[in-house]
Each structure stands twice: as structure tokens, then as C-alpha cells.
Amino acid sequence: MDKAAQNASIIKAAAINLGLYSDDSAIALRAALKKARELSGNSNPTQKQVDSAREALEKAIPGLVKRTAAKDDENLVSTAGANVVTIDMSGLLLAAAVAAIACCRNRAHM
């Protein structure tokens, strides 16, 4: 089972500041990211499931639509971004830990 490409996609998506994007497009990316993380933590997914989750994540990234802040909403992006960065950093750390565990397991089986 090769999860390296999926883990790279998880790290890439987790680093995106979703506060800069429309709610609908950010929700789509969050859903794809959640699914990919669930499969990454699963010890027995099929390669097809892993590839499907990675593809959904890779489609959601270019599907992000930049938020256009109205004059009254200028602070919305900056405060939402701060919360999302905190959440995304925890996701980044989780993805890195999963990748490290997978690497150690692969070395143990060599």
C-alpha cells in the first residue's frame, strides 16, 4: 500500500489558509481533507480508496475560490484565517506523524 502521494497531498492541502477562500469552496476542501486523513490513519485501506481520496483532494485545491471581502467584511478574512491556520497546523503535524510512521514501517519490512 503506497500512501506517500496521499500524505503529500494532505500536507499540501493542510497548509492552505482557507480563510482566504469562499465558504463553499473551503467546505469542499475540508471534506476532501477529512476523508484523506481518515484513510491515512486507516491501516487497511485499498489502494483504490487511497488514490480516490488523493484525487478528490487534488481536485478540491484548484477549486478554491478567493473570497472577495466587502468593506464591512475586511476583518472576516484575517480573523477566520487565524483560526484556520491553527487548525491546519495540527493537521500538518498529524500528516507528518503519519508519514513518519509509514516510513518506519516500510524500513522495518525491508
Global pTM reads 0.60
Q: What percent of the chain has pLDDT over 90?
A: 41
- List 66's β-bridge partners, or say none: 21
Q: Give the span between the Cα atoms of 9 and 57, in whole angstroms.
A: 7
Mean pLDDT within 82-107: 63
Mean pLDDT within 24-39: 92
Which has more confidence, 2 or 59?
Answer: 59
CA 72 to chain centre: 30
pLDDT digits (tens, 9 = 90+) for 39-58: 888 878 898 998 999 999 99
Per DSSP, the residues of 7-73 read HHHHHHHHTS-GGGB-HHHHHHHHHHHHHHHHHHH-SS--HHHHHHHHHHHHHHTTT--B----GGG
